[in-house]
Structure 1
Amino acid sequence: MAKLEIYWSFRSPYSYLAIDRLCAIREHYEVDVAFRPVRPLAMREPDFFERGRKQFVPYLMQDFPREAERLGLAFGLPNPDPIDMDMGTGKVAPEQPLMDRVMALGIAACENDRGLDFAKAVSARVWTGKPWSDDASLGDAAREAGLDLAALEGWASANAAKIAKTIEANEAEQLKHHWGVPLMVLDGEAFFGQDRLDSLEWRLAKRGLRRD
């Protein structure tokens, strides 16, 4: 069976814009989906926003709502931001408890073959401005994905080393193809960005992988 690897970030608005269509691809095509969460760029390259071009964030904040509206998706700023950083200077805090927690839960969800479902439920809160980081919100997201928050937390607590190794491996594999998210890799062929999902579906259909 064809293998589709998905590299995805909880802080990326473009990952949010892609998640519904990625779930649809999993449903409608004969493909083995491997969901591989990675940390946000602010953690992978902590100085990125300090040294980056000043146009990056203003353009993103113009483009993301526009794309969400075009796709008919709700949108809003994270409440709270999954990453602790000074948006004025771009300086990222050394400790990132919110992202550390949601990444651990995401890896735990992957162990239950529900990583994509959990990501969809969480991102639907993060990128529509809803509360997402408290136990009640994460518990609701877990239930939407067919999971139990306490069970995810228990597995994560007992498998900290495995989680760290999985994240490290995911990010190393991602960099073989691209540094950004969402990144989809179909049997070694990379498609970067939510605006390449049409290309991905074209390739899947061309290979005769559509179920219906």
Structure 2
Amino acid sequence: MRADLYFSFRSPYSYLALPRWRAIQRDYDLTIDLKPVYPLAIRQPDFFERNHPNWLGYTIRDVMRVAQHAGIPFAPPRPDPIVQNVMTRQIADEQPYIYRLVRTGQVAARRGRGFAFADEVAQLIWGGTAGWHEGDHLAGAAARAGLDMTELDADAEADAQAIDAEVAANQTALEAAGHWGVPTLVFQGEPFFGQDRIDLALWRMEQAGLEKRG
């Protein structure tokens, strides 16, 4: 049985959903295909300026307590995958991190290793690794996912236009399924948005015949 997980490397809730989905894939006869999308900061650069002033502060507080409750390592990313002025919320024109992350994530998805790659990389970004973009951090994450970071980077650079088209198609497919945000798991056309809908999605898949691995 298969399902699609729409995911953003900048979304802390996407990161918080991964351990549960990792465990479910281990215990059940299920494969989750990762569908990376660009975060709102890229798709809608004025999103944070338009939102309520309390939105960002509440979100930070909430993700920290969700992580504590679930026992998941969590720390604000250093650096943030999106270059943004914290005071004004303005998104910088130059974005040296997020394009690399999303494009290599899509290359990994092409190779059937998207979930594993996102899982390893998200643990670096949100799990407390300072300077996750430096040294051999990403190379190590790729290796743990069964991939080669040098090859991912080379493919991402050589085929950037096609990859961005695939990522845009991921976003279109997410919206066609009935949602717009991440993390959203789509199973048989039905969307389950948020790390707090995993039990509901699992229930639906069990209704459809999902069984535990023997």
Alignment TM-score, normalising by the size of structure 2: 0.94
Residue of structure 2 in register with 1:40 after alignment: 39
**Once the 2 structures are TM-superposed, how far is the Cα of residue 161 of structure 1 from its aligned partner?**
1.9
State the alpha-carbon separation in 1 of the partners of residues 135 and 107 from structure 2.
Answer: 16
Structure 2 residue identity aligned to 1:64: V
* Contact kept? 1:16, 1:120, Cα under 8 Å: yes
C-alpha separation between the residues in 1 aligned to 2:80 and 2:35? Answer: 21
CA RMSD of aligned residues (A): 1.3
- TM-score of the pair, normalised by structure 1: 0.95
Q: How many Å apart are 1:32 and its aligned residue?
A: 4.3
Paired amino acid for 2:150 = A
- Which runs of structure 1 show a deviation greater than 4 angstroms over 4 or more consecutive aligned residues? none
Deviation at 1:111?
1.6
Identity %: 41
Tell whether the 8 Å contact from 1:29 to 1:204 is kept in structure 2 after alignment: no
Aligned twin of 2:22: 23
Deviation at 1:140, TM superposition (A): 0.8
Partner of 2:54: 55
Q: Is the 8 A contact 2:73 2:128 kept in 1?
A: no
Aligned to 1:196: 197
Q: How do 1:129-140 residues align onto structure 2 when only pairs under 5 Å count?
A: 129-130=128-129, 131-140=131-140
Give unmatched runs, 5+ long, in structure 1.
Answer: none
The total of aligned residue pairs comes to 211
Distance, in Å, in 2 between the alignment partners of 1:118 and 1:104 is 12
Assess if the C-alpha contact under 8 Å between 1:7 and 1:183 holds in 2. Answer: yes
Q: Which consecutive residues of structure 2, in runs of 5 or more, have no partner in the other structure? A: none
Indicate the SS of the match to 1:4.
strand
CA distance in 2: counterparts of 1:140 and 1:168, whole angstroms? 28
Measured at CA, do residues 135 and 155 of structure 1 come closer, stay the same or move farther in structure 2, by a change above 3 Å? Answer: farther
**1:131-210 aligned within 5 A:** 131-176=131-176, 177-210=178-211
Instruction: Compare 8-17 and 123-132 and name the one that shifted more.
Output: 123-132
Whole-angstrom CA distance in 2 between matches of 1:66 and 1:174: 28
SS at match of 2:103: helix
Cα distance between partner residues in 2 of 1:188 and 1:29:
20
Is the 1:3–1:32 Cα contact (8 Å) retained in structure 2? yes
SS, match of residue 97 in structure 1: coil
Task: Write the distance in 2 (CA, Å) between the matches of 1:143 and 1:192.
Answer: 30
